[in-house]
């Protein structure tokens, strides 16, 4: 039995076992979770190595019916651990085991479809208190953006929002030739590990708005980019306002948000 990669699902199946093993070995158990959820396992090239790690109980979530049938046939160890669903649309409390009202911790791993990888990260961000570790393969440009720091042209909204809650490392680059079919771009593997932050010290919704508005016109100073948010006098007096968004660290965005918190954003 063979699963044909489907373009509409953004499927590029990894065929290099050594790379799959390297990705699986990046799971550290950070946060003392016991369950791992793999997104989009396809034909299980990565899955087999996650299953071999006896520290964890492995679950997979797969939207492709053909892949689900393949996994059931070739990986009996996944019996009862396959969620035939769309990760982006499933209720968070049903993850990773499809048991309602779940609050348990779990890690996320996967060779993520490039067309939805950013959406996957935003959903994980919403579940940050339940997902202490993420290991994933992305389009290289997305991976670089997530891991970039202040002053870098790749540094942006996703960088700041994720780095507020996770320590992020760009692990290694993957050549297109190790996939079937080969994508037209290089891939990059990231690891994200939940940091010790439980409270930013400001309203998270307002922090997100400040970051998004700041980068919406990244060539402008924050004084101009944040005008629609009606900055307070304290915010307007801040030296941050004369900088561009890409020049501010996460901590500085938090500080700027605190200065703006007297106003409704």
Q: What is the pLDDT of residues 158-186, one digit of tens each?
A: 999 999 999 999 999 999 999 998 999 99
pLDDT at 189: 98
15-43 per-residue burial string, b: 16 or more CB within 10 A, e: under 16: eeeebbeebbebbeeeeebebbbbbbbbb
233: pLDDT strictly greater than 60: yes
Does 192 appear as a known binding residue? no
Tens digit of each residue's pLDDT (9 = 90 or more) over 21-38? 999 999 999 999 999 999
Inter-residue contact 27 to 50 (CB < 8 Å): yes
Whole-number pLDDT of residue 264: 47
pLDDT band at 1 (very low <50, low <70, confident <90, very high): low
Q: Where in the chain is the domain with CATH 3.40.50.150?
A: 7-194
- Is 40 assigned to a binding site? yes
Q: Would the CA dihedral through 138, 142, 144, 146 be positive or negative?
A: negative
What digits encode the pLDDT tens for the residues 181-207? Answer: 899 999 999 999 999 999 999 999 999
Considering the chain, tell me which residue range(s) the CATH 1.10.8.100 domain(s) occupy. 204-260
What is the per-residue DSSP string for 8-61?
A: GGT--EE--HHHHHHHHTT---TT---EEEEE--TTSTTHHHHHT-TTSEEEEE
The Cα 223–Cα 200 span in angstroms is: 23
Domain topology for 7-194: Rossmann fold (3.40.50)
Mean pLDDT, range 42-70, rounded to an integer = 95
Candidates 1.10.8.100, 2.50.20.10, 1.10.260.40, 3.30.70.360; correct CATH number of 204-260? 1.10.8.100
Does the annotation flag 222 for ligand binding? no
Read off the pLDDT of each residue in 73-88 and give the average, rounded to a whole number.
Answer: 96
Q: Binding site annotation covers 111?
A: yes
pLDDT of residue 263: 47
> Over 80: is that where the pLDDT of 265 sits?
no
Distances (CA, A) of 102 to 12, 108, 130, 197, 258: 31, 15, 10, 22, 33
- For 251, residues 6+ apart whose C-beta sits below 8 A from its C-beta are none
Q: 78 a known binding residue? A: no
């Amino acid at each position: 039995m063979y699963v044909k990669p489907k373009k509409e699902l953004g499927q590029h199946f990894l065929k290099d076992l050594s790379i799959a093993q390297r990705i699986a070995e990046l799971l550290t158990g950070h946060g003392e979770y016991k369950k791992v959820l793999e997104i989009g396992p396809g034909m299980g090239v990565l899955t087999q190595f996650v299953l071999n790690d006896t520290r964890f109980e492995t679950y997979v979530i797969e939207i492709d019916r053909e892949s689900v049938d393949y996994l059931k046939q070739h990986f009996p160890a996944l019996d009862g651990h396959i969620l035939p669903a769309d990760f982006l649309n499933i209720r968070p409390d049903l993850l990773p085991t499809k048991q309602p009202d779940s609050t348990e911790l779990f890690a996320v791993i996967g060779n993520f479809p490039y067309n939805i990888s950013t959406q996957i990260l935003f959903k994980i961000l919403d579940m940050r208190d339940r997902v202490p570790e993420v290991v994933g393969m992305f389009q290289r440009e997305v991976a670089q953006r997530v891991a970039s720091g202040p002053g870098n042209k790749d540094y942006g909204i996703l960088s700041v929002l994720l780095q507020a809650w996770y320590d992020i490392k760009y692990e290694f680059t993957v050549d297109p030739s190790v996939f079937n079919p080969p994508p037209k771009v290089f891939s990059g593997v990231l690891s994200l590990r939940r940091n010790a932050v439980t409270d930013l010290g400001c309203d998270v919704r307002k922090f997100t708005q400040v970051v998004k508005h700041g980068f919406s016109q990244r060539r402008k100073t924050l004084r101009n980019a944040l005008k629609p948010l009606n900055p307070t006098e304290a915010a307007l007096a801040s030296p941050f306002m004369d900088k561009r968004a890409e020049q501010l660290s996460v901590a500085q965005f938090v500080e700027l948000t605190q200065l703006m918190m007297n106003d409704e954003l």
